[in-house]
A and B are shown apart, each in its own frame.
Chain A
Amino acid sequence: MNCKDINQAIIEGSASSWSPEAEEHLRTCARCRELAGTLKVPVPADLPSPTVLREIERGLVADLRPVRPIPPKRYIFVSMMAIFIATAVLGLSRFGAFAIAAMTPLQTGAIFGALAISAGLLAYSLVNQMVPGSRYRVPPGRMPLVVMILLMVSVAVLFQFQHERSFWFRAWVCIQGGTPVAAFAAVALWLVLRRGAILSPIMTGGATGLLAGLAGTTALGIHCPNLDAWHILVSHLGVAVLGAVAGLVVGWAVENRKLIRRP
Chain B
Amino acid sequence: MERYQQADPEAPAVLVSALSPSLLRFFRSQSATLGQAEDLLQDTWLRIHRVRHTYRPDEPVLPWIYAIARRVRVDGYRRSRRIDSHETAMEALPEWPAEDKPRHAPPVFEALVAALPEAQREVITMLKVGGLSLEEVARATSSTAGAVKQKAHRGYDRLRKLLRSYAEAAGGAQ
Contact residues of A with B, CB < 8 Å?
3-4, 6-8, 10-13, 30-32, 34-35, 38-39, 41, 43-49, 52-53, 55-57, 59-61, 63-70, 72, 129-141, 196-197, 199-200, 258-259, 262-263
Contacts and interface: CB of A to CB of B under 8 A. Distances in A.
B128 A31 contact: no
Nearest to B155: A7
B138 A49 contact: no
A72 B58 CA distance: 11
Nearest to B149: A11
A58 B42 CA distance: 11
A53 B17 contact: yes
Interface in B131-152: 133-136, 138-140, 142-144, 147, 149, 152
4 nearest A-B residue pairs (beta carbon): A133-B63, A197-B51, A133-B64, A132-B67
B9 A132 contact: no
Contacts, number: 182
A1 to B, nearest CB: 15
B79 A262 contact: yes
Chain B at the A interface: SS class: helix
A57 B13 contact: yes
B7 A133 contact: no
Given A35-B160, A53-B20, A66-B7, A7 B167 contact: no
A20 B7 CA distance: 51
A130 B54 contact: yes
A38 B20 contact: no
Contact of A137 (B29, B55, B144): B144
A136 B143 contact: yes
Interface in B115-174: 127-129, 133-136, 138-140, 142-144, 147, 149, 152-153, 156-157, 159-160, 163-164, 167
